[in-house]
Amino acid sequence: MIIDDYRYEREYFHGQRCGEGRCFYRKTACREFTGRWADNRWSVGIVTWVAGDTCCGTWSGSGTQGTFEMENGTRYESQWIEDGIVHGRGIEISADGSCYNGMYKYGWKHDHGVIAYPDGSQFEGEWIFGCLYDKNVNLTELIDMVRGCNKQIDDAVSFSKKLQSIKNLKIVIEKHINKLDRQQLSTGIETILKCASAEIVNLFINDYIRNATYRWNLLILAAKHDHYEIVKLLLKKFNVNVEMEGVMQYDGKTVIGTTALWCAAASNHLNIVRLLVQYGANVNHHTRTHSTPLRAACFDGSIEIVKFLCDNGADVNSSNLGDGSNLMLASYKGHLNVVDYLLQTGANPNLKGNYDATALHYACERGHLETVKLLLSKGAISTKNKDGLTPLMNAAIQPHPAIVEYLTKEHYSEVEECIEAYELLASTYCNDGTDNSEKTYEYLTKAMHMRYADPSAPILKSVCLLPIEAYGHHMECQTVEDTVKIRHNVDALRMETLIIRERILGEMSGTLHYSIRYRGAAYAVEKRYEQALLLWLRACSPSQTRSEFHLRATDKNTDRGQLRLTFDRNFIDEIAMND
């Protein structure tokens, strides 16, 4: 008998399948049943599944539900259709002790269901024709693979075979770590770890993952990517070393010596930070550059993590290899709430880091006015860094006029420094790509008026540079009237502000050299090559004249690389670009 869903051969009774018979199926998980039939249903026989395996069993029940017991001990109690094919809700208790409770479709586990194993692991979700999936990961395949490895290890009769089976399990785990994407990783690894034997996995749980782009193990990876359940499982079930160091990338930079706690703090995963500290992670364990988890949290302004780490013993005044403190970093980034909290917990606002810069220097440099106000209210003082710059000068060079205005009005600096700050502010608006002549003139006149606020005792410029060929022999303005005269002379304003920079910052200042090179490049674009060359020569060797440079060019002892740098990179390139 042939119908749409199956083909039956052998005995019938009153038109129904009864007695010995054989049936082939098209739609179900069962491919073939051979055995005894009763009332058009299976009674006793052999089932061959689509996967190829076979089993013997006995069926009992009504036309819509019943029990199927296999010879190996597996038992189904479920709804079924037609011959005895499970369909609808059912329970499957397997011979290995696992138990499935959920939905079936034509003999397959399908739709929602949960499977539990004797070791206590349990998996719940949506099944598709016999396999449990989550985020497109075939969990059934993973479970069977890991449990198969466990069995191989348990059944191994020699040490060498056991060792090879352990290696195979490790390879399985590494393979799936490298294969799964970030979203799938949490589901896949959590499934593997739930099924894996702790006794076996502890042998390699702290190993670095082979073929990884960077250097990390499972704990570090899970902490970085916010896989909370994996971190929790690793800490509770396995003997993980929470102080293992890895190599990871953050904000485009490779960081060497990162612990799981550092990664969690840097990635703003508060729950994982708490969990790791609960299990004994060292809050002051630093990277190769002495960056601590607290510093990592300060970088992104993760205030809750900052508070938690400080409450659990983090050193608030720790510094990295560049002597940069946590307060300096938070000030540089403008994380006002973090700066406030660090100051409340004892951070020193006047610590000096690399180049003798303080937190106030960094806040002024980056234009964080509210941070500047807070630091000053907590005792920050103005000092010079190794370049001779005060925080006020930093703000002027960037430029951040609001900070310059605040610091000068609140009298945090001497009058002459305030005047020079406005002069530097003017020079920044004239150079470095800003080219705002109105702002330049505004701040030049403001500075000059401050010099002559008391006509009977003007604050004269302490140094007057001699005429310099590179600056067109321009003489720096000394009075308000002098400044008014050059208001509409753009070239004069440019030379005036370059001279101001050299007077205040010194001829060896990197900031000055950058401005000179920029102005030279701008002149080269305008095909004013003579002026461009003179400026570049001054940036290259400020204390020497053009004729001296030409003498050096013919001297065998001259550094030819410096000469080529001057011409090749600045002059010739600009000419070629504009011809």
What are the structural domain ranges in the chain? 6-134, 414-505, 517-579
Share of the chain above pLDDT 90, in %: 52
Residue 78: predicted pLDDT: 86
Residue 147: predicted pLDDT: 86
**N-terminal to C-terminal alpha carbon distance within the chain:** 91
User: Rounded to whole angstroms, how far apart are CA atoms 460 and 475?
Assistant: 15
Rounded mean pLDDT of 392-409? 96
Residue 119 three-state SS: coil
Q: Is the pLDDT of residue 246 over 50?
A: yes
- pLDDT tier at 80, thresholds 50, 70, 90: confident
Residues 499-558: tens digit of each pLDDT: 999 999 998 898 999 999 999 999 999 999 999 999 998 887 544 444 444 444 445 454
Whether pTM > 0.85 for this model: the answer is no
Tokens encoding 68: 């199927």
Helix axes 336-344 and 326-333, enclosed angle (nearest 10): 150
Peptide bond just before 399 cis, omega within 30 deg: yes
Among 201-215, 248-262, 427-441, 548-562, the least confident range: 548-562
Q: Is the pLDDT of residue 237 over 70?
A: yes
User: Rounded to whole angstroms, how far apart are CA atoms 165 and 143?
Assistant: 16
Tokens encoding 245: 């160091």
Rounded mean pLDDT of 305-323? 95
- Side chain identity at 289, as an amino acid letter? T
Q: Is the pLDDT of residue 14 over 80?
A: no
Tokens encoding 2: 């042939």
Q: Is the pLDDT of residue 497 over 60?
A: yes
Residue 541: predicted pLDDT: 57
Residue 10: predicted pLDDT: 80
Among 131-135, 341-345, 457-461, the least confident range: 131-135
Rounded mean pLDDT of 278-298? 97
Residue 270: predicted pLDDT: 98
Helix then strand then coil, % of the chain, to nearest 5:
45, 20, 35
Q: 224 and 263 in contact (C-beta within 8 Å)?
A: yes
Residue 85: predicted pLDDT: 81
User: Rounded to whole angstroms, how far apart are CA atoms 459 and 445?
Assistant: 14
- pLDDT tier at 214, thresholds 50, 70, 90: confident
